[in-house]
Structure 1
Amino acid sequence: MSKPDFEGLAAVVTGGGSGIGLAVASTLADRGAAVACLDVDPSGAPAGALGVSCDVTDEHAVTEAVEHVVRRLGGLDVLVNNAGIGAQGSVESNSYEEWNRVFDVNVLGLVRATRACLPHLRASASAAIVNTCSIAATAGLPQRALYSASKGAVQSLTLAMAADHVTEGVRVNCVNPGTVDTPWVRRLLSTAADPEDELRALRARQPTGRLVTAEEVAGAVAYLAGPDAGATTGTVLAVDGGMNGLRLRNE
């Protein structure tokens, strides 16, 4: 049984209706937090969580959603900036409209949510922000130019935010997952010429030989957001099956 280390704390998870966000919301709720899931489709939010319809590209909607959550939950202690979208292709492949769209969600969406939450987080004795980044921020992956650029920005922004807000008592960290078994990845696989062959390739590039689970990422997020990480800020925690740091020999 999970320890109730988030008892009495309130958390907002953007993109909390599916995938990693859903796993994070469920984990925090299981550990005692009052959780609100902000999502364009919050119907998938876990039982007991407050689901709020919100598009992170809409500044007014984000501000209204956060104020609604704070009224309902009585405050705010944790923000998990998880909402994001993907993109495939080289630097030549995606239209400028798509470049703007991905950065609007993955980077400016994080900015909007953080701006709306910071006044409330400053009032908390347990304030923490955790951003969902990606292995794409640190490893050159083929056909991921746009996505990698957006996640590189998230990693750099995490470090800058940590420096800006540490004296205010707000810790800021990020997790860098490898390829996670989520509905989005499964949709990508379904478009491949040979989905099973593509799945084998994705598994093989991670030294553990398997995809990361959403629950494993959620566990890392919960650690960074929780009291056990009270001295941890400005940290990038890889949850990637060893993909970034290990170089195995092929016998």
Structure 2
Amino acid sequence: MFSLQQKSAVITGAGSGIGKAIAQTFSQARATVHLVDLNPDALQQTLSDLPAERSFAYPCNVVSQEAVAGITSKILERSGAIDILVNAAGIAHVGKLDTTTEEDFDKVFAVNVKGVYNMMRAVIGPMTARKNGVILNIASIASTVGIPDRFAYSMSKGAVLTMTLSVAKDYIGQGIRCNCVSPARVHTPFVDGFIAKNYPGREAEMFDKLSKTQPIGRMAKPAEIGALALYLCSDEAGFITGCDYPIDGGFIKLNN
């Protein structure tokens, strides 16, 4: 079950964290993986652990529609089709409305919203031509519940959720499925860097505190997000579209 053999999957943000874990999981499921990330060194690190014959890297800034169109053309030349798109590229921002500058707002919007739009727009034509395709977006619990000091980030992830629903509705007749997953905190290098930068000398204390904001008592592992992504992008999930899947350790329903 859940084999992606003979499937061509594009994964953004594949250089680290959730995107990297999804790339590894899809590769284990026998997909041909096309890794997209802004950081070429991180891309090469991900690529080095994957089978060379069906793993390819494309340094790209997803904010640029021209750059996205360029790498999409290369992927189609190489594989002939794009069966799966996973939008995992994203950035975080800490701040309330009054502490979020216009520059902050625009930067988060550009990556988290426009980047997802650019990637979906680039693949929707080839997918509809074949009347087949799966799009999975990485949203967040911040899409649906209030998170302190995450004004711009919540704005962007709310947009990811509603773009997902719109695409699912508009292209269901063309054989396209579109869903999103909404993680709570996931233990990635970003989390470690955030704690080290903002709480020097208190890393262990703050890691424990942030872990316990999930009722389950810990952060998610990137591989756990990868496992859910694998199911939703597999043929076994062929009856699922227009859905948001919280993967949150009970945060939304039990945190009261």
- Please report the TM-score for the alignment, with normalisation by the length of structure 2: 0.92
* Residue 232 of structure 2 corresponds to residue 224 of structure 1: yes
- Partner of residue 192, structure 2: 186
Aligned partner of 1:37 among 35, 38, 54: 35
Deviation at 1:123, TM superposition (A): 3.7
Task: Quote the Cα distance in structure 2 between the aligned partners of 1:222 and 1:51.
Answer: 20
Deviation at 1:134, TM superposition (A): 0.6
The DSSP-based 3-state class of the residue aligned with 1:141 is coil
Task: Quote the Cα distance in structure 2 between the aligned partners of 1:73 and 1:102.
Answer: 32
Q: Which amino acid aligns with 2:45?
A: G
Aligned partner of 2:250 among 242, 246, 250: 242
Task: Quote the Cα distance in structure 2 between the aligned partners of 1:247 and 1:135.
Answer: 12
More helix by share: 2
Deviation at 1:192, TM superposition (A): 2.8
- Percent of residue pairs bearing the same amino acid type: 35
Q: How does 1:151-190 map to 2 (within 5 A)?
A: 151-190=157-196
- Partner of residue 121, structure 1: 127
- Partner of residue 223, structure 2: 215
Q: Which amino acid aligns with 1:208?
A: I
- Single out whichever of 174-183 and 136-145 deviates more from structure 2: 136-145
Task: Quote the Cα distance in structure 2 between the aligned partners of 1:145 and 1:77.
Answer: 34
- Partner of residue 109, structure 1: 115
- Partner of residue 3, structure 2: 5
- Partner of residue 27, structure 1: 25
Please give the per-residue CA displacement for 1:160-204, whole angstroms capped at 9, x wherever unaligned.
111011111000000000100011111111123322222122111
Gapped runs of 5+ residues in structure 1?
A: none
CA contact (8 A) 1:22 1:44 kept: no
Deviation at 1:60, TM superposition (A): 0.7
CA contact (8 A) 1:52 1:65 kept: yes
Aligned partner of 1:205 among 213, 222, 229: 213
Q: Which amino acid aligns with 1:5?
A: S
CA contact (8 A) 1:205 1:243 kept: yes
- Partner of residue 137, structure 1: 143
Please give the per-residue CA displacement for 1:131-170, whole angstroms capped at 9, x wherever unaligned.
0001111221111111111101111111111101111100
The DSSP-based 3-state class of the residue aligned with 1:89 is coil
Inter-CA distance 105–171: structure 2 relative to 1 (3 Å threshold): same
Q: Which amino acid aligns with 2:239?
A: A
Gapped runs of 5+ residues in structure 2?
A: none
Aligned partner of 1:99 among 78, 83, 105: 105
Aligned Cα root-mean-square deviation (Å): 1.3
Deviation at 1:124, TM superposition (A): 4.0
CA contact (8 A) 2:38 2:61 kept: yes
Task: Quote the Cα distance in structure 1 between the aligned partners of 2:95 and 2:58.
Answer: 32
CA contact (8 A) 2:4 2:30 kept: yes
CA contact (8 A) 2:165 2:179 kept: yes
Task: Quote the Cα distance in structure 2 between the aligned partners of 1:191 and 1:45.
Answer: 25
The DSSP-based 3-state class of the residue aligned with 2:253 is coil
- Partner of residue 15, structure 2: 17
The number of equivalent residue pairs is 246
